[in-house]
Chain A
Amino acid sequence: MNKAISRIFVVGVVLFVALVVNLTWIMVVRAGWFYDRPENKRSIAKELKIRRGELLGFDGSVIAGSLRRSGYYYRDYPQGTLAPQLLGYDSVRYGRSGVEQELNDVLTGTATDLGVQSWIDRLLGRKPKGADVKLTLVPAVQKTAQQQLTGLKGAIVALDPKTGALIASASAPSYDPTTVEDDWARLRVDAASPLLNRATQGLYAPGSAFKVVTAAGGLDYGKVTPTTEFVDTGTYVVFGGKVTNYGGAVFGANDFTTALTYSINTTFAKVGNLLARKRLEASMQHFGFYQTPPLPLPRGEVAPSGRYGKRGLLAPDAFMDPLAVAWAACGQEKVLATPLQMALAAAGVANGGRIMKPYYLQQVTSAAGDVVQKARPEQWLVAMKPATASALNTMMQRVVNQGTGVSAALKGIQVAGKTGTAERGDGTNLAWFVAFAPAADPTVALAVVIEDTQSTGGEVAAPIAAAVLKSALAQPALP
Chain B
Amino acid sequence: MSRRNVELLFLVIAGSVSTMAYVSVYAGRYGEISRVSIIYGLVFVAIFFILHLIVRFVLPQADPFLLPITALLAAIGLTEIFRIKPALALVQGQWLLVGAGLFLITVVLVRDHMRLDRYRYIMGVVGLGLLIATIVVGTTVNGSKLWIHAFGFSIQPSEFAKLAIVIFLAGYLNDKKVLLSIPTHHVLGVPLPATKYFGPLIVMWFLSLAMLVFMKDFGMALLFMSIFVALMYMATARIVYVVIGGGLFAAAAAIAVAIVPHIQERFSIWLDPWPHAATTGYQLLQSLFTIADGGVAGAGLGRGFLLYANRQPVVPDLQTDFIFAAIANEMGLIGAAGVILVYLLFMWRGFRIAVFAPDGFSKLLAAGLAFAFGLQTFIILGGVTRLIPLTGITLPFVSYGGSSITANLILVALLLMVSHRTNVMREGSDLERRRLAERG
Q: B343 within 8 Å of A by Cβ?
A: yes
Q: B211 within 8 Å of A by Cβ?
A: no
Q: A79 within 8 Å of B by Cβ?
A: no
Considering the complex, give the chain B residue whose CB is closest to the CB of A73.
B309
Q: A31 within 8 Å of B by Cβ?
A: yes
Q: CB-CB < 8 A to B317: which residues of A?
A: none
A18, A23, A31, A92: the one within 8 Å of B337 (CB): A23
Which of B189-197, B289-297, B398-406, B418-426 forms part of the interface with chain A?
A: B289-297
Q: CB-CB < 8 A to B277: which residues of A?
A: 39
Given contacts A5-B367, A46-B305, contact A16 B340 (CB under 8 A): yes
Quick check: B230 and A20 within 8 Å, CB to CB?
A: no
> Taking each of A15, A27, A34, A69, which has the highest tally of chain B beta carbons within 10 Å of its own beta carbon?
A27
A1, A9, A24, A30: the one within 8 Å of B237 (CB): A1
Q: A179 within 8 Å of B by Cβ?
A: no
Q: A191 within 8 Å of B by Cβ?
A: no
A6, A12, A34: the one within 8 Å of B347 (CB): A12
Quick check: A27 and B344 within 8 Å, CB to CB?
A: no
Q: A120 within 8 Å of B by Cβ?
A: no
Q: What's the Cα separation between A9 and B345 when bound, in Å?
A: 11
Minimum C-beta distance from B342 to chain A (A): 11
**Number of A residues whose C-beta is below 8 Å from B?**
39
Considering the complex, give the chain A residue whose CB is closest to the CB of B294.
A27
Quick check: A23 and B333 within 8 Å, CB to CB?
A: yes
Considering the complex, give the chain B residue whose CB is closest to the CB of A9.
B351
A18, A34, A37: the one within 8 Å of B387 (CB): A18
Quick check: A23 and B385 within 8 Å, CB to CB?
A: yes
Quick check: A26 and B288 within 8 Å, CB to CB?
A: yes
Quick check: B292 and A12 within 8 Å, CB to CB?
A: no
Q: Annotate B222-236 by CB proximity to A: 1 below 8 A, 0 otherwise.
A: 000000001001111
Minimum C-beta distance from A2 to chain B (A): 5
> Taking each of A1, A34, A46, A71, which has the highest tally of chain B beta carbons within 10 Å of its own beta carbon?
A1
Quick check: B371 and A8 within 8 Å, CB to CB?
A: yes
Q: A22 within 8 Å of B by Cβ?
A: yes
Q: CB-CB < 8 A to A1: which residues of B?
A: 234-235, 237, 360, 363-364
Q: Annotate A63-98 by CB proximity to B: 1 below 8 A, 0 otherwise.
A: 000000111101000000000000000001000000
Q: What's the Cα separation between A74 and B309 when bound, in Å?
A: 9
Minimum C-beta distance from B80 to chain A (A): 17
Quick check: B296 and A27 within 8 Å, CB to CB?
A: yes
Considering the complex, give the chain A residue whose CB is closest to the CB of B273.
A39
Chain B contact-residue range equals 35 or more
Quick check: B293 and A42 within 8 Å, CB to CB?
A: yes
Q: CB-CB < 8 A to B416: which residues of A?
A: none
Considering the complex, give the chain B residue whose CB is closest to the CB of A72.
B309
Q: CB-CB < 8 A to B355: which residues of A?
A: 2, 5-6
Minimum C-beta distance from A390 to chain B (A): 55
Q: B354 within 8 Å of A by Cβ?
A: yes
Given contacts A23-B328, A31-B293, contact A45 B305 (CB under 8 A): yes
Q: B285 within 8 Å of A by Cβ?
A: yes
Q: What's the Cα separation between A6 and B344 when bound, in Å?
A: 14
Q: B374 within 8 Å of A by Cβ?
A: yes
Given contacts A6-B351, A8-B351, contact A16 B344 (CB under 8 A): yes
Quick check: A22 and B387 within 8 Å, CB to CB?
A: yes
Quick check: B375 and A12 within 8 Å, CB to CB?
A: yes
Q: B300 within 8 Å of A by Cβ?
A: no
Q: B206 within 8 Å of A by Cβ?
A: no
Q: B274 within 8 Å of A by Cβ?
A: yes
Q: CB-CB < 8 A to B386: which residues of A?
A: 22
Minimum C-beta distance from B1 to chain A (A): 26
Quick check: B295 and A20 within 8 Å, CB to CB?
A: no
Quick check: A4 and B289 within 8 Å, CB to CB?
A: no
Q: What's the Cα separation between A6 and B364 when bound, in Å?
A: 12
Minimum C-beta distance from B407 to chain A (A): 20
Q: CB-CB < 8 A to A18: which residues of B?
A: 382, 387
Quick check: A4 and B234 within 8 Å, CB to CB?
A: yes
Q: What's the Cα separation between A439 and B363 when bound, in Å?
A: 99
Q: A35 within 8 Å of B by Cβ?
A: yes
Considering the complex, give the chain A residue whose CB is closest to the CB of B351.
A9
Q: CB-CB < 8 A to A37: which residues of B?
A: 289
Given contacts A27-B294, A48-B309, contact A42 B289 (CB under 8 A): yes
Q: CB-CB < 8 A to B293: which residues of A?
A: 31, 34-35, 42
Q: What's the Cα separation between A160 and B201 when bound, in Å?
A: 83
Considering the complex, give the chain A residue whose CB is closest to the CB of B311.
A70
10 contacts across the A-B interface (CB closer than 8 A): A1-B360, A8-B371, A12-B375, A16-B347, A19-B378, A23-B291, A23-B333, A27-B292, A37-B289, A40-B285
9 tightest A-B CB contacts, nearest first: A72-B309, A34-B292, A39-B277, A9-B351, A4-B237, A27-B333, A4-B234, A40-B289, A31-B292
A: residues with CB less than 8 A from B are: 1-9, 12-13, 15-16, 18-20, 22-24, 26-28, 30-31, 34-35, 37, 39-40, 42, 45-46, 48, 69-72, 74, 92
